[in-house]
Amino acid sequence: MENPLDISGAEAQPCEMLTDAQVTGLLGTDINETRDDRSGPTCRWYRYGSQSASVAVGVPNVTDNGLTAIYVAANDQTYKFFKEMTPVRGYPAVAWGTNDDTMTRGVCNVAVGTSDRATVEATVTLSKQNIGTKDPCEAAHQVLDMVIGNIQGSN
């Protein structure tokens, strides 16, 4: 990749990839936050109740093949859902999943290749009233636009 993005700060502090104002803009108030490092530094924000929705962003470390690993999994049918998306601030982006849950469950994973070996990913789960009316992949793409902008601003 011609201009790899330094994501070391995001790896160290995944819950800083989005600002408090951005999280509030996405999910509203009364938000819970959790960090999970099982498959790489990840932060998840979520709400309970009738407005339940969530956003997770992370830097997976299960492979060092970047987006190539997602393309391979799509080609061998591990991922039944795969869609190339418009680049995020010049970095390639794809939506992927073991199944297409975008309209039935309102869930989508999007990955942005930040170098030949790394990705930053977002998973969005829409609130029940938005399932079938909004595209969770576009929402995850918008989240990653914020994340990449924040990382670029801190480098």
User: Mind spelling out the 3-state secondary structure of 39-62?
Assistant: CECEEEEEECHHHCEEEEEECCCC
Sheet holding 53-58, edge to edge: 32-36, 42-47, 53-58, 119-125, 107-113, 91-97, 81-88
Domain hosting 126: range is 8-154
Report the range of poorest mean pLDDT among 2-16, 19-33, 43-57, 114-128: 43-57
Domain count, the chain: 1
Residue 109 located in a structural domain:
yes
Residues 117 and 114: their CA atoms lie apart, in Å, by 8
Residue 1 located in a structural domain:
no
Residues 136 and 51: their CA atoms lie apart, in Å, by 15
Q: What is the band of 50 on the pLDDT scale with cuts at 50, 70, 90?
A: low
**Residue 18 maps to which CATH number?**
3.40.1000
pLDDT at 35: 95
Residue 29 located in a structural domain:
yes
Residue 132 located in a structural domain:
yes
